[in-house]
A = this chain, B = another copy of it.
Amino acid sequence: MTRDGDEECCDMRGMLGFLILFLLSKKPMHGQEIADELGKRRGERPSPGTIYPALKSLKDAGFLSEEEKIGKTIIYNLTPRGMKAFNVAKRRFTKTFLGVLS
Protein backbone atom coordinates (compact mmCIF):
# COMPACT_ATOMS: atom_id res chain seq x y z
CA MET A 1 0.00 0.00 0.00
CA THR A 2 1.94 3.03 -1.21
CA ARG A 3 0.64 6.54 -0.86
CA ASP A 4 1.16 9.03 -3.62
CA GLY A 5 4.43 10.45 -2.36
CA ASP A 6 5.92 7.08 -1.61
CA GLU A 7 6.57 5.89 -5.11
CA GLU A 8 8.93 2.99 -5.00
CA CYS A 9 12.07 3.21 -6.98
CA CYS A 10 15.55 1.85 -7.00
CA ASP A 11 15.69 -1.04 -4.58
CA MET A 12 19.46 -0.83 -4.41
CA ARG A 13 20.17 -4.47 -4.81
CA GLY A 14 23.73 -5.45 -5.37
CA MET A 15 25.03 -3.49 -2.43
CA LEU A 16 24.78 -6.20 0.18
CA GLY A 17 28.38 -7.39 -0.06
CA PHE A 18 29.63 -3.84 -0.01
CA LEU A 19 27.59 -3.04 3.08
CA ILE A 20 28.81 -6.13 4.89
CA LEU A 21 32.42 -5.19 4.17
CA PHE A 22 31.69 -1.68 5.36
CA LEU A 23 30.13 -2.83 8.63
CA LEU A 24 32.97 -5.25 9.32
CA SER A 25 35.52 -2.54 8.58
CA LYS A 26 34.14 -0.75 11.63
CA LYS A 27 34.16 -3.71 13.96
CA PRO A 28 33.95 -7.51 13.93
CA MET A 29 30.39 -8.77 14.03
CA HIS A 30 28.41 -11.97 13.71
CA GLY A 31 25.70 -12.68 11.18
CA GLN A 32 22.65 -11.68 13.16
CA GLU A 33 24.34 -8.52 14.33
CA ILE A 34 25.01 -7.57 10.72
CA ALA A 35 21.42 -8.35 9.80
CA ASP A 36 20.20 -6.14 12.66
CA GLU A 37 22.36 -3.24 11.57
CA LEU A 38 21.25 -3.58 7.96
CA GLY A 39 17.66 -3.67 9.12
CA LYS A 40 18.14 -0.37 10.91
CA ARG A 41 19.84 1.23 7.94
CA ARG A 42 17.77 0.03 5.03
CA GLY A 43 14.48 -0.41 6.84
CA GLU A 44 14.43 -4.03 5.80
CA ARG A 45 16.21 -6.80 7.61
CA PRO A 46 17.82 -9.40 5.39
CA SER A 47 16.66 -12.95 6.04
CA PRO A 48 19.02 -15.77 7.08
CA GLY A 49 18.79 -17.09 3.53
CA THR A 50 20.19 -13.79 2.36
CA ILE A 51 22.84 -12.98 4.89
CA TYR A 52 24.58 -16.34 5.29
CA PRO A 53 25.14 -17.07 1.63
CA ALA A 54 26.49 -13.53 1.32
CA LEU A 55 28.91 -14.12 4.18
CA LYS A 56 29.96 -17.44 2.73
CA SER A 57 30.62 -15.87 -0.63
CA LEU A 58 32.76 -13.13 0.90
CA LYS A 59 34.60 -15.68 2.97
CA ASP A 60 35.22 -17.87 -0.07
CA ALA A 61 36.66 -14.84 -1.81
CA GLY A 62 39.12 -14.46 1.04
CA PHE A 63 37.65 -11.22 2.34
CA LEU A 64 36.45 -12.50 5.70
CA SER A 65 37.87 -14.66 8.42
CA GLU A 66 36.15 -16.23 11.38
CA GLU A 67 37.68 -14.43 14.26
CA GLU A 68 35.98 -16.26 17.03
CA LYS A 69 33.38 -18.88 17.53
CA ILE A 70 31.21 -19.02 20.62
CA GLY A 71 28.82 -21.90 20.42
CA LYS A 72 27.08 -21.39 17.13
CA THR A 73 27.92 -17.74 16.97
CA ILE A 74 30.66 -16.86 14.50
CA ILE A 75 32.31 -13.49 14.71
CA TYR A 76 33.58 -12.34 11.34
CA ASN A 77 36.43 -10.02 10.64
CA LEU A 78 37.89 -8.45 7.52
CA THR A 79 41.10 -10.00 6.26
CA PRO A 80 43.79 -7.65 4.94
CA ARG A 81 42.65 -8.66 1.50
CA GLY A 82 39.05 -7.84 2.44
CA MET A 83 40.18 -4.46 3.69
CA LYS A 84 41.90 -3.76 0.40
CA ALA A 85 38.85 -4.86 -1.55
CA PHE A 86 36.67 -2.62 0.54
CA ASN A 87 38.92 0.37 0.03
CA VAL A 88 38.88 -0.14 -3.71
CA ALA A 89 35.11 -0.48 -3.69
CA LYS A 90 34.74 2.55 -1.44
CA ARG A 91 36.77 4.69 -3.79
CA ARG A 92 34.54 3.62 -6.63
CA PHE A 93 31.44 4.21 -4.55
CA THR A 94 32.58 7.69 -3.59
CA LYS A 95 33.31 8.63 -7.16
CA THR A 96 30.09 7.15 -8.44
CA PHE A 97 27.82 8.84 -5.94
CA LEU A 98 29.69 12.11 -5.67
CA GLY A 99 27.19 14.85 -4.97
CA VAL A 100 24.28 12.61 -4.06
CA LEU A 101 24.61 13.39 -0.38
CA SER A 102 23.93 17.09 -0.91
**A contact residues, total (Cβ < 8 Å):** 41
Return 28 A-B CB contacts under 8 Å, by A number. A5-B84, A5-B88, A7-B61, A7-B62, A7-B84, A7-B85, A9-B18, A9-B89, A10-B14, A10-B85, A10-B89, A12-B14, A12-B15, A12-B92, A12-B93, A12-B96, A13-B13, A13-B14, A15-B15, A19-B97, A42-B92, A42-B95, A90-B100, A93-B97, A93-B100, A94-B101, A97-B97, A101-B101
Q: What chain B residues lie within 8 Å of A42 (beta carbons)?
A: 92, 95-96
**Interface residues in chain A, defined as those with a beta carbon under 8 Å from any beta carbon in chain B:** 5-15, 17-19, 21-22, 26, 41-43, 58, 61-63, 81, 84-86, 88-90, 92-101
